[in-house]
């Protein structure tokens, strides 16, 4: 039996650990049973910054949780069934949302709006109620509309904090680096590209001129790589031939962004990556969500960086992006209003 003084020491130690914000990061995945949700849960289980993983879906999450929970990393994993959303959200600091239907060939992301808008709204309503200070990472498409839907839903509930809401556009950044490396015979580690705007076709604006490798790409090669970055999602939808859209590369991108946010929340300085947030950059033109480089910190969004110098071609891309993005954002807001 433990002596009283040893028991007291152990209990004060456990209080010490549980009060440490950097050690206790509970992350929930809503849509954990899906094509993105499953590999994303796997990757988050491997992230040492995640101490507890809460997996929710209307189907299949307890099975995914049982499976992933056998992996020999320190975090604990729990799975929740359809009627256990509130339990799944209890005490979470970060909520990642890949719930919703994916595209089939011939569809645009906006064609998903009718189904996914209400899924995302209902999940955001639950987050507002159970975990109102959580950071929310939206993967569900159309991101240009689902992020404003989440914002308006939280706003209606009186808990919207713009520093805590992120549309995950990391897959565009991942693709841009990979495609640029491919045509430059370089390692993607050396070919990062800032991608701004939104997350669909013409609203995706890669700033190749800001990259030393990127500015060397001109003429037809430039047109081709821009098109490939903007329509990389279509490439996967076509290749999967009716079986859905990007899941594995998206899980990688989702885990990468979640890790960046957790590093920022834990106090690491200089964590900067593009993400779709409530932004002042084009607010004067009625576009109040925009993706640009954002510094992530202890409060979430720490600083929204300006887009910086861009080429004449990029200005044209931006001019094409803005009206479409504005429509997508307004559609999301109108859905909640
Ligand atoms: N932001 C981005 O870059 C990307 C976004 N996406 C989007 O991610 C979403 C998910 O894609 P996949 O995983 O391939 O689809 P999927 O159909 O394989 O999985 C979606 C999961 O969401 C679940 N779900 C549906 N309603 C739910 C609810 N109310 N609560 C909790 N879970 C719910 C389903 O049961 C399913 O397990 C799609 O909207 C897709 O367009 C996909 C790739 C990239
Ligand atoms: O293309 C889709 O529908 C899924 C997606 O957002 C992407 O792969 O970028």
Best of 80, 95, 113, 141 for a ligand 1 pocket test (most atoms within 8 Å of beta carbon): 141
**Ligand 1 geometric centre to CA of 20 (Å):** 33
Going by pLDDT thresholds of 50, 70 and 90, the confidence category of residue 2 is very low
Quick one: tokens of 337? Answer: 């209003």
Query: Helix, strand, or coil here: 195?
Result: strand
What is the CA(140)–ligand 1 centre distance, in A?
6
- CA 105 to ligand 2 center in whole angstroms: 11
What is the C-alpha separation between 54 and 86, in angstroms, rounded? 11
Per-residue pLDDT tens over the stretch 285-300: 999 999 999 999 999 9
107 in Cβ contact with 116 (< 8 Å):
no
Question: What is d(CA 32, CA 142) in angstroms, rounded to the nearest whole number?
Answer: 18
> Does pLDDT of 15 surpass 50?
no
pLDDT tens-digit series, residues 43-59: 999 999 999 999 999 99
Q: Are 59 and 33 in contact (CB under 8 A)?
A: yes
Structure tokens at 310: 């861009």
28, 92 in Cβ contact below 8 A?
yes
The answer as to CATH 3.40.50.10490 being correct for domain 1-337 is: no
Instruction: Provide the ipTM.
Output: 0.99
Nearest ligand to the CA of 100 is 1
Confidence of residue 23 (pLDDT cuts 50, 70, 90): low
What is the gyration radius of the CA atoms in the chain, in angstroms? 20
Ligand 1: residue whose CA is nearest its atom 21:
34
Given a contact cutoff of 8 angstroms between Cβ atoms, the answer to whether 126 and 85 are in contact is yes
- Confidence category of residue 20, pLDDT binned at 50, 70, 90: very low
């Amino acid at each position: 039996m433990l002596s009283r003084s040893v028991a007291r020491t152990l209990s004060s130690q456990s209080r010490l650990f549980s009060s440490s914000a950097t050690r206790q990061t509970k992350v929930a995945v809503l849509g954990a049973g899906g094509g993105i949700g499953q590999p994303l849960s796997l990757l988050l289980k491997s992230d040492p910054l995640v101490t507890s993983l809460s997996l929710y879906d209307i189907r299949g999450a307890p099975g995914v949780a049982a499976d992933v929970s056998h992996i020999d990393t320190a975090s604990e994993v729990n799975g929740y069934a359809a009627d256990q959303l509130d339990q799944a959200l209890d005490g979470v600091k970060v909520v990642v949302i890949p719930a919703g239907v994916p595209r089939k060939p011939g569809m645009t992301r906006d064609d998903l709006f009718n189904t996914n808008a209400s899924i995302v709204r209902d999940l955001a309503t639950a987050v507002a109620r159970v975990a109102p200070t959580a950071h929310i990472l939206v993967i569900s498409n159309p991101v240009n509309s689902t992020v404003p839907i989440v914002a308006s839903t939280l706003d209606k509930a009186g808990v919207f904090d713009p520093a805590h809401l992120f549309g995950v556009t990391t897959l565009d950044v991942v693709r841009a680096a990979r495609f640029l490396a491919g045509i430059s015979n370089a390692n993607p580690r050396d070919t990062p590209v800032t991608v701004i705007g939104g997350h669909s076709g013409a609203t995706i604006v890669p700033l190749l001129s800001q990259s030393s490798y990127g500015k060397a790409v001109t003429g037809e090669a430039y047109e081709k790589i821009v098109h490939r970055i903007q329509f990389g999602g279509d490439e996967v939808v076509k290749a999967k031939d009716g079986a859905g859209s990007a899941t594995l590369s998206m899980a990688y991108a989702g885990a990468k962004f979640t890790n960046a946010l957790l590093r920022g929340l834990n106090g690491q300085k200089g964590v900067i990556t593009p993400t779709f947030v409530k932004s002042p950059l084009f607010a004067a033109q009625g576009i109040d969500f925009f993706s640009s480089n954002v510094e992530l910190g202890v409060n979430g969004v720490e600083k929204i960086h300006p887009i910086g110098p861009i080429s004449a071609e990029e200005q044209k891309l931006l001019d094409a992006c803005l009206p479409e993005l504005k429509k997508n954002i307004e559609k999301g807001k109108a859905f909640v209003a």
